[in-house]
Amino acid sequence: MSETTHDGSVAVSAPPSPDEGLTAAQLAAKYGLAVSGARPSLFEYVRQLWDRRHFILAFSRAKLTAQYSQAKLGQLWQVATPLLNAAVYFFIFGVILQADRGMPREVYIPFLVTGVFVFTFTQSSVMAGVRAISGNLGLVRALHFPRASLPISFALQQLQQLLYSMIVLFVVAIGFGSYPKLSWVLILPVLVLQFLFNTGLALIMARAGAKTPDLAQLMPFVMRTWMYASGVMFSIPIMLKGKPDWIATVLQWNPAAVYMDLMRFALIDGYDHTQLPDHVWAAAAGWAVLFAVGGFVYFWKAEERYGRG
């Protein structure tokens, strides 16, 4: 190379003559420099994300632990919080409002608790997703990592939170006469599919929240509406008896209701397939794939813009 004619000392103000007259882009191309902070290809992005899998897991577990580290009871709250939550819903909807509408009590109580936990999983994933980028700008502006690590990590944190809640759920189910049986195995695919759906949703919300932080104020209302429309505390077909059929069908096919119904079907003895809409597994898988893939691509499309203030 012609540059070797220069001596080894550092000459700063005089640029090397062979490169004179080149524009910045030409100079960069000549020496193989790449644009800093450019968005990698989708394939490359997935690879980078895979390389960061340990970080994603460690970050989600750290967040989970940090939540209760100041409390005297410590990590016991991981289980105590969902337990108290279930108790409150039981008291209000089971005892005071009697929203069971003719459902036997040993079905209704696990039905209600399952609904609350499963919906909370989606709800908190969305809320964490909205703030995944906008609430962690410091991190985004300090270190390099595929930004999708953050929303995925937050969704993973919620999944671990749900696993603690499942302990409570098992106790409630057994307490009301639904003993472990073969169908409990179905809990696993339901969790996987719902996690995929939640992650996709968190990715979408993360991009939207990075552009418009105001969503963090708006989402609680949206989520509450969604909760009441998904049959968390009541059975959709029973509640909507007498109304046009299509309303119940639409509500039952919405992803939150689908995952709740499948979880109840797997767990509760008196809740059988006659209470599920047709093709419910296909719907569960369809929603999961659609949101996971769509959300991921949507998030990746703005990768180079996260962190702009």
Q: What is the C-alpha separation between 91 and 81, in angstroms, rounded?
A: 15
Nearest by Cα to 192 from 159, 153, 148: 159
Q: What is the DSSP string of 37-85?
A: TPPPPHHHHHHHHHHTHHHHHHHHHHHHHHHTTTSSSGGGHHHHHHHHH
- Residue (36 or 274) nearer to another protein, CB: 36
| CB of 27 vs another protein, minimal distance in Å | 6
- Residue (59 or 89) nearer to another protein, CB: 59
Q: Which residues bind another protein (CB under 8 A)?
A: 1, 3-4, 6, 8-13, 15-16, 19, 23-25, 27-28, 31-38, 51-52, 54-55, 58-59, 62-63, 65-66, 69-70, 136, 138-145, 213, 304-309
- Residue (130 or 256) nearer to another protein, CB: 130
**The amino acid at 256:** A
| CB of 160 vs another protein, minimal distance in Å | 15
Spell out a b/e string for 146-175, using b for 16 or more CB atoms within 10 Å of the CB, else e. bbbbbbbbbbbbbbbbbebbbebbbebbee
Q: What is the C-alpha separation between 181 and 170, in angstroms, rounded?
A: 12
- Residue (65 or 254) nearer to another protein, CB: 65
| CB of 17 vs another protein, minimal distance in Å | 10
- Six-digit token pair at 120? 């909370």
- Residue (237 or 307) nearer to another protein, CB: 307
| CB of 161 vs another protein, minimal distance in Å | 16
| CB of 141 vs another protein, minimal distance in Å | 5
Residues, the chain, total? 309
